[in-house]
Amino acid sequence: MKIKVLNLGGLNTYLNPLVKNDGDLLTSINMDSYPYGAKTKRQGYSTYLSAGSLVTDLFSWTKNNGSLFTYKIDDKKLYYSTQGTGAWALCGNGTLGADHAGYAVLDDTMILGDGVGSTRHTTTGTSFTNTTLAPVAPWFAQYQGRIYAAGTSSTTFYSTTNDATNWALSGTSDSSSFTVPGAGKMSRIFTANDRLVLPKTSGLLYRWDGYSLVDTSTQLAPSSPYSVAQTEGYYLWLHRLGVMGYGGSKPQLLSNAIERQIYNRSGSAITGSTFATAPAEVYRYDYLLSAGTITDDFTGQTIDNAIIKYNFQKNEFLNYSFYDQPTALHSFVNASGNQQLIFSSGTQVYTLDSGSTDNSQPIESIMEFVVHLGNPELDKEFRTFYGFFNPGCNAKIQIAISDTYTKDRKRWIDIGDVTDGIAEFRLPKNNCRGKLLFIKVYENSRDPAFTCYGFVIDGDIINDWLL
């Protein structure tokens, strides 16, 4: 009998392995679902502008006249690049007291704070002025014509209507503040579904409509404020229970499929400290979360510099592994009108591009599948592998026959490469009998991307009980 695997999905190691379908993906590193139903090796990246000291934050601002500035925080100093292409330059009054800063924009005025030093503002994009009476705060949002500032404890402040720089409490000014109750201090604030969303570090989540504060009765607020990102008004973030999605009501858990990468009984998933600091960004419907080194305790696959990738459009999880671990990520529309992703690692900022290397380093891609011909409990004789790839690629195929999912019981055998695009391999007769057939597609090179469209396995169930 032949099993056709021609619709390659996302990762799911949450299910009981005995109910998994033939050809389900067990591991995917550095692959994209392109075209949909197939898998293609991801694009690479190169340097973005010049190196610095230690880059810890990235963001951008497009002014009302179309002028673009990209920013980095480097060794607690704020630098800008005009149009995202000019050389980094130190902002006026750009020395900060922290490695990160929050910001918001109202009436073509940006207000910025780090939660340590004075809050400041700019209308030029290049030089900042201390904002009189503004609270010290690390998080800001624009809502209903005001700037809201989440303070360093449990107080949220807001500016005078239509004036980002006016925080006076008397006269014609109508600035004020209110306390957000409950354990923890304020975390990153944002707007969703025409409400101001107010998370706290304890996990509590509140909504504000300009008049009243509503407790959403949940404790699923972001564990890392740097992991909050949005697409189409839908927010995503990291919590200690997984990746959450939020449309304005209550957060929902999205990451059941990769629960073992978030937390597991072996303690080999995301480390505790990373939950508080992991950065993330959305780039073309992909939510990219920099998770550190993780090991899924089902497959035993360790991923260095892991990036958990959730595609909002396809509702699908995959993994990346960058050669340089991102410490901050940012996506913006560049001066050419294209969506661009930049990220920092150490002293350098990088940009995702159409190249086939990670800044000249080869990109290692791995996919692992399992086939059991619909009967995981019975022995089979697997005979032939048919693979469908793009001609000229350098991907190679390995197989392992086992009666268990245990990683150490798999004995991988190379059966050939798929340079011709369509490959047919007779499996070794002395090692093709067992309950489970594991298939690994791998490539580690500086070559252009390859595409796997699917494969077919020919084999038979061995009914020993009839003998």
Sign for the CA dihedral angle at 274, 277, 283, 285 comes to positive
Please indicate, yes or no, whether residues 327 and 372 belong to a single structural domain of this protein.
no
Whole-number pLDDT of residue 401: 93
Strand partners, 396: 417, 442
Give the model's confidence band at 323: pLDDT under 50 very low, under 70 low, under 90 confident, else very high: very high
The C-alpha atoms of residue 230 and residue 467 are separated, in whole angstroms, by 61
Q: Are 302 and 294 in contact (CB under 8 A)?
A: yes
Determine how many CB atoms are found less than 10 A away from the CB of residue 41: 25
The C-alpha atoms of residue 140 and residue 147 are separated, in whole angstroms, by 7
Please indicate, yes or no, whether residues 210 and 341 belong to a single structural domain of this protein.
yes
Matching residue, tokens 């005979």: 383
Torsion of CA 70, 75, 78, 79, to 10 degrees: -50
Task: Calculate the average pLDDT of the chain.
Answer: 95
Percent of the chain residues past pLDDT 70, beyond the cut: 99
Give the model's confidence band at 409: pLDDT under 50 very low, under 70 low, under 90 confident, else very high: confident
What's the whole-number mean pLDDT along residues 88-106? 98
| Amino acid at the residue 183 | A
Please indicate, yes or no, whether residues 158 and 304 belong to a single structural domain of this protein.
yes
Q: Check which CATH number belongs to the domain holding 138 and give it.
A: 2.130.10.10
Whole-number pLDDT of residue 464: 56
Comparing 138-142, 429-433, 434-438, the range with the smallest average pLDDT is 429-433
What's the whole-number mean pLDDT along residues 227-236? 96
Determine how many CB atoms are found less than 10 A away from the CB of residue 190: 23
Please indicate, yes or no, whether residues 26 and 76 belong to a single structural domain of this protein.
no
Please indicate, yes or no, whether residues 154 and 104 belong to a single structural domain of this protein.
yes
* Per-residue pLDDT reduced to its tens digit, 417-429: 999 999 999 998 7
| Amino acid at the residue 18 | L
Domain C-terminal end among 307, 334, 361: 361
Please indicate, yes or no, whether residues 228 and 339 belong to a single structural domain of this protein.
yes
Please indicate, yes or no, whether residues 13 and 78 belong to a single structural domain of this protein.
no
What's the whole-number mean pLDDT along residues 277-289? 97
Determine how many CB atoms are found less than 10 A away from the CB of residue 51: 12
Q: How would you class 139 by CB atoms within 10 Å of its CB: exposed for 0-12, middle for 13-18, buried for 19 or more? A: buried
Please indicate, yes or no, whether residues 193 and 224 belong to a single structural domain of this protein.
yes
Comparing 11-20, 47-56, 117-126, 376-385, the range with the smallest average pLDDT is 11-20
Domain C-terminal end among 329, 361, 393: 361
Please indicate, yes or no, whether residues 350 and 370 belong to a single structural domain of this protein.
no
Strand partners, 177: 157
Please indicate, yes or no, whether residues 204 and 298 belong to a single structural domain of this protein.
yes
* Per-residue pLDDT reduced to its tens digit, 151-198: 999 999 999 999 999 999 999 999 999 999 999 999 999 999 999 999
To 5 degrees, how large is the angle CA 290–CA 293–CA 298? Answer: 110
Peptide bond into 35 cis (omega under 30): yes
Angstrom CA distances, 437 to 352, 393, 411, stand at 36, 24, 11
What is the domain count for the chain?
2
Please indicate, yes or no, whether residues 452 and 421 belong to a single structural domain of this protein.
yes
Output Rg (C-alpha) for the chain, integer angstroms. Answer: 25
What's the whole-number mean pLDDT along residues 126-140? 98
To 5 degrees, how large is the angle CA 193–CA 235–CA 304? Answer: 175
* Per-residue pLDDT reduced to its tens digit, 437-454: 999 999 999 999 999 999
Listed residue (177, 174, 216, 224) closest to 198, CA to CA: 216
Q: Which domain holds residue 161?
A: 45-361
Domain C-terminal end among 328, 346, 361: 361
Please indicate, yes or no, whether residues 314 and 180 belong to a single structural domain of this protein.
yes
Structure tokens at 369: 């599948």
What's the whole-number mean pLDDT along residues 390-399? 94
Report the largest interatomic distance among the alpha carbons of the chain, rounded to a whole angstrom.
Answer: 97
Q: Does the pLDDT value for residue 19 go beyond 80? A: no
Q: Check which CATH number belongs to the domain holding 461 and give it.
A: 2.60.120.260
